[in-house]
């Protein structure tokens, strides 16, 4: 990697990551609701699919009817979704001084397409970081859950959920490796803990990030 990590100078960027059924959507909503109660402008978003282009990409990569895709094709589709998402949704909100809370981001590509699909990790990361301008979350919360527990929560599975237990085990291990390599920007929580206990632990780590989100010169967007 030749580029350096970029952390937004205004707003705050928080990401939830983890395997299937770990509670990312629930915790994302709980954090958004708490931030609103605290008076912070907040944008709740997700990947893939929270742009018009992204919705089309999401249908391709998650619909079981798509069937087999070249692993590189799949990775590039996810990268395209992320590029559009960062440029049209995430960066504008951060420039406005908002707290951006996203359900999945680059780490999902590194875990699912890297460890899961067994693509070259360095090459894949170069593509994913290039697609997102190397923008990093100020905090990534990894909700850790054994894949057999998470997958048991689904009666019908999409194209990715339907992968083997071995695939999802590699994904879990990749998330934990990413978190261990940068503890200052990660929080790993046991997804089996009570929902409110998880939410409180997240709030404790997010509070120190809110100063920059509250005190932004709205005339000086990045």
pLDDT (tens digit, 9 = 90+) per residue, 116-128? 998 999 999 999 9
**Contact status, residue 21 vs residue 27, Cβ threshold 8 Å:** no
Return the CA Rg of the chain. Answer: 17
Q: Percentage of residues in the chain with pLDDT exceeding 90?
A: 81
Binning pLDDT at 50, 70 and 90, where does residue 151 land? confident
**Contact status, residue 81 vs residue 206, Cβ threshold 8 Å:** no
Binning pLDDT at 50, 70 and 90, where does residue 213 land? low
Domains of the chain, by residue range, sit at 12-214
Region 130-147: mean pLDDT is 97
pLDDT(149) > 70: yes
Q: Cα 114 vs. chain centroid, distance in angstroms?
A: 15
Among candidates 139, 136, 104, 174, which has minimal Cα distance to 3?
A: 136
Among candidates 137, 144, 64, 74, which has minimal Cα distance to 105?
A: 137
Among candidates 65, 64, 32, 63, which has minimal Cα distance to 46?
A: 32
pLDDT of residue 2: 54
Which of the pair, 219 or 100, is modelled with greater confidence?
Answer: 100
Strand-pairing partners, residue 146, are none
Coil vs helix vs strand at 136: coil
CATH number for region 12-214: 3.40.50.300
Q: Is the pTM value of this prediction over 0.85?
A: yes
């Amino acid at each position: 990697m030749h580029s350096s990590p970029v952390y937004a100078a205004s707003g705050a960027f928080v990401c939830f990551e983890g395997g299937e059924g770990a509670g990312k959507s629930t915790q994302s909503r709980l954090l958004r609701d708490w931030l609103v109660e605290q008076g912070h402008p907040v944008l709740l978003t997700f990947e893939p699919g929270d742009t018009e282009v992204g919705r089309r990409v999401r249908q391709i990569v998650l619909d079981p009817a798509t069937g087999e895709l070249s692993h590189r094709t799949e990775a590039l589709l996810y990268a395209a979704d992320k590029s559009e998402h960062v440029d049209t949704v995430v960066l504008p909100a951060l420039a406005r001084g908002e707290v951006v809370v996203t359900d999945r981001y680059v780490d999902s590509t590194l875990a699912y397409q890297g460890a899961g699909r067994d693509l070259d990790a360095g090459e894949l990361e170069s593509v994913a970081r290039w697609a997102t301008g190397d923008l990093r979350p100020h905090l990534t919360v990894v909700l850790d859950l054994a894949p057999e527990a998470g997958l048991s929560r689904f009666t019908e599975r999409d194209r990715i959920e339907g992968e083997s237990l071995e695939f999802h085990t590699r994904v879990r291990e990749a998330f934990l490796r990413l978190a261990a390599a940068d503890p200052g920007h990660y929080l790993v929580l046991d997804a089996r803990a009570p929902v409110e206990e998880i939410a409180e632990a997240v709030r404790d780590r997010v509070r120190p990030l809110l100063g920059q989100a509250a005190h932004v010169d709205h005339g000086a967007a990045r």
